[in-house]
Amino acid sequence: MTKPRQHHHRFIIGTILLLLSLDSAPSISAHFFPNITSIPEDLLKNTTANPWGFFQQLAGCHAGKKYDGLAKLKHYFQYFGYIPNSLSNFTDVFDDNLESALQTYQQNFNLNITGQLDDQTVNHILRPRCGNPDIINGSTSMNSGKTNNTSSSHHIHTVSHYSFFTGRPRWRKQALTYWFLPENQLTDEVKTVFSRAFDRWSTVIPLTFTQTDSIYEADIRISFFAGDHGDGEPFDGVLGTLAHAFSPPNGRLHLDGDENWFVTGDVRTSAVTSAVDLESVAVHEIGHLLGLGHSSVEESIMYPSISSRTKKVELASDDVEGIQTLYGSNPNFNGTSAPPVQERETGSGSGGAHCVHSRWGLTGLIMASCLAFLLL
């Protein structure tokens, strides 16, 4: 076999392996609701699910005591970086590690620093949130990573709390492209939500974002998955962790396909108590894609938690200062606050993604073609 032929075959095999890797996790249909009238009646009757709802009964627990379920809470804190990964075999004893984790968590989220599971803290733990950890390898730029301005009332009073990933990774080009997993079969209406979310960032920095249909050209890859999807950060169903994204230049943004995503209209009036505003989550996760970590400023987009039936899409000054530290300012930015992004007209569509029962759709056809060509 000649060398050109060998290289050709290697390219075809590489393409097949890449396509297989993209399908290593099951892609699913997500639940999108364009308006209140589109919500199925059976869903309205079952809207209270929360994977962390069990923690509600732990309110009032104190150090030194044993309570059923504290081991699960320790796993929660370990997942988000508050307990070192070196620790395992958790028990239901309220030990020093849990007390320390609680104090750090309370400090990061501007709560009363008590080290106890008071009602204020438990109610905050129950909030849906981003799946990215607040503390990575013991390091954070949220409140607990800063030493200035603590008061006798145990509240934190600081100004800027934007943070970055370790090493401050950033994109080294200004024109970025993004791609949607075809198996999710997102409507134009849903894609427009992401377009608006990207526009909010490009308003304040000199970066542009353009959709592409080619994964080979894409810098950013957006997918909806459910449960374990192969990246070591499984989703947990309705509420809980909503999405997660990776730092530059990885470019992966994963959203939980089990959430009840609200696409248009006022999510605050949704009859579904578990309704999550898609644009609000997308703007936050894009911040991670661009290199921002979590912030302790509750008004900021990069604050880790967002309650259901809440819309928060406008960049706060903390977000603007942080992202401009990485990329500089858009020459057309007015320098005060991020102006609102105009909503674009979209087609009627169904507002929902369609379930794909098999992974061997378009990908299967491409693979079959490659194999046939390889055998020529």
Active site residues: 285
DSSP-assigned beta bridge partners for residue 262: 33, 277
Residue pair 256/265 in contact by the 8 Å Cβ criterion: no
62 is in an annotated binding site: no
Cα–chain center distance at 269:
23
Task: Work out the number of other CB atoms within 10 angstroms of the CB of residue 103.
Answer: 18
Q: What six digits make up the tokens of 299?
A: 């008004």
Cα–chain center distance at 321:
21
229 is in an annotated binding site: yes
14 is in an annotated binding site: no
7 is in an annotated binding site: no
367 is in an annotated binding site: no
302 is in an annotated binding site: yes
DSSP annotation of 339: P
244 is in an annotated binding site: yes
DSSP-assigned beta bridge partners for residue 256: 225
217 is in an annotated binding site: no
Alpha helices (H) along 126-185 = none
231 is in an annotated binding site: yes
Cα–chain center distance at 308:
14
Q: Return the residue matching tokens 């470019």.
A: 251
**Type of residue numbered 227:** G
Cα–chain center distance at 143:
21
Contacts of 226 (CB under 8 A, 6+ apart): 26, 28, 235, 237, 256, 257, 258
Residue 176 has phi, psi (to 5 degrees) of -110, 150
> Please, what's the b/e burial string for 165-198 (b: 16 or more CB within 10 A of its CB; e: otherwise)?
beeebbbeeeebbbbbbbbbbbbebbebbbbbbb
Listed residue (128, 230, 237, 180) closest to 353, CA to CA: 180
294 is in an annotated binding site: yes
Alpha-carbon distance of 335 to 270, in angstroms, equals 35
Alpha-carbon distance of 55 to 269, in angstroms, equals 27
Q: What six digits make up the tokens of 200?
A: 């909010």
142 is in an annotated binding site: no
Which residues define the annotated binding site for Zn(2+)?
130, 229, 231, 244, 254, 284, 288, 294, 302
Which residues define the annotated binding site?
130, 219, 229, 231, 236-237, 244, 254, 256, 259, 284, 288, 294, 302
Which residues define the annotated binding site for Ca(2+)?
219, 236-237, 256, 259
